A and B are shown apart, each in its own frame.
Chain A
């Protein structure tokens, strides 16, 4: 009998420390499945982030490197330049990538560094306990935005700025070849997200340029919602602001022939 669903080889078989309803577990699995399907577990390197997913190196069953908060793309640059034949996966959250590490992601992307960033956008700081993220939606509450994110400038408003659309921002840069935004709110979107991840990995292995998949992901704990309610909030509140799909695709035509 053919096994059609099993634990991915590239993922360690342990229970994660993530909260119930967290999106990281699903996203880890998608990455591991894509790596298994490409057969590159023994030549993959995870760039471990700072944030809840700092645990990622406990779960992915391949090499990892941990650099400071936000410097993940800089560290990945160093690793990939030394190991050009490896699949380098930068796993970053919204604080890591879009706040403290904005300079690093912009410049690595612009240089066309040939690694893939998996950008998990849950619109909140998880590890530190629910502070406002660069991607927190307008009006969304956080411990550091107790009345909700107020974008109106000071002194009339709190001057918290607007949620950053990272894919759209990076799309202007010449070094970026593939920028897609998926979500794990529904089974259909999970499947589509996996296609994006695999396409980005294949492009990396062909050496095409900078690739990134942004993934909208629930954080029930810090959104103070139940898991099901949190998934609904991704659908109803996040997706209307963060458009899903391939925001930029300048991959070689050959890449489009890939099948899922």
Chain B
């Protein structure tokens, strides 16, 4: 089949990829900067006679996702930061009941209403199980429109494979910008993966889809089983991209939009004869800790760059905390901008140079 390339906004590419992945039901509530996604799903889903509902709230939308998935459908919701806070209730329940589903956060700046500019301030919420209880779920961070489409498409498979919610953590920049995108194969109405645990199976015995368990030892056993599954997820689904690590005197660690800026800074540095590297986590949970630890043990020095006051950098520091070279702990520095300010390639490069000249304090 001929490759299908289109010029699309990130929000639209996410929507098209979800539809092609066989999304049966979408539920959402309007919020900037992801409104094009909800509108795209309205036309795309209704055209195919699939379920689209503009929900009364983000909380309701997430429980609709829960219900649709429990009823056997591939279900999705999307929002932006304040709306994703509201969805945390349902995400916790979905994790507790092992409900596969896809949640897209086209993140904006906070806290509170904050602003509508791109931000990476939702990293903690996304990767730490933003709701109540002991849980995690897969979090994938795209750096481009193409990757936003690819990760969304794959998120539906991962959700079914591991029976857990998968979050695509983009930001307003990825959602709003236009790029060329090669769209994945349309699965159409082909059969979805079997869900023998779902309701409506008419298997002869009732299926109860619930997170409730009032017996502490039994609840502990189910949490332990889930955490064993998390270890398998970490072993099989950890993803990252590495650029120019061998020669690099300093390695940027950044994801999503911040990683594009670092890549630009890296190229500017190279033109000036300075070798920098980039390590880009694609899966934020599971976090590529083992790779980073190996790099630290090999003597690499890191500069985390985020559009936040420093959230992913904590995972980086944890990852390299055990790695020491010549009796010295790995050096991790941080550069971030908050409030929806997008750092420029120049300022990131300038900060990296200052570090290498030993003028900025090392952490």
Contacts and interface: CB of A to CB of B under 8 A. Distances in A.
B206 interface: yes
Contact of B55 (A66, A74, A79): A74
A66 B97 contact: yes
B63 interface: yes
A14 to B, nearest CB: 14
Interface string B59-96: 11101111111111101000000000000011001000
A78 B89 contact: no
B56 interface: yes
A103 B63 contact: no
Contacts of A111: 53
B68 A78 contact: yes
A64 B206 contact: yes
Interface stretch (A19-27, A80-88, A132-140, A158-166): A80-88
Interface residues of A, number: 33
Interface in A18-77: 42-43, 45, 47-48, 54, 57, 60-68, 71, 74-77
A61 B66 contact: no
A192 interface: no
A66 B209 contact: yes
Contact of B25 (A45, A82, A104, A106): A82
A82 B208 contact: no
Given A74-B67, A78-B70, A81-B68, A66 B208 contact: yes
Contacts of B314: none
Nearest to B94: A67
Given A42-B202, A57-B208, A68 B64 contact: no
B188 interface: no
A9 interface: no
A64 B212 CA distance: 12
A69 to B, nearest CB: 9
B98 interface: no
B285 interface: no
28 contacts: A63-B209, A64-B208, A64-B209, A65-B66, A65-B67, A65-B71, A65-B208, A66-B93, A66-B211, A67-B66, A67-B67, A67-B93, A71-B63, A74-B59, A74-B67, A75-B70, A76-B67, A77-B53, A78-B25, A78-B67, A78-B70, A79-B68, A79-B70, A79-B199, A82-B24, A82-B67, A104-B56, A107-B60
Interface of A: 42-43, 45, 47-48, 54, 57, 60-68, 71, 74-83, 86, 103-104, 106-107, 111
Listed from nearest, the 4 A-B pairs whose CB atoms lie closest are: A78-B67, A82-B71, A78-B68, A71-B63
Given A68-B93, A79-B200, A106-B56, 5 more contacts: A64-B208, A66-B211, A71-B90, A80-B67, A80-B71
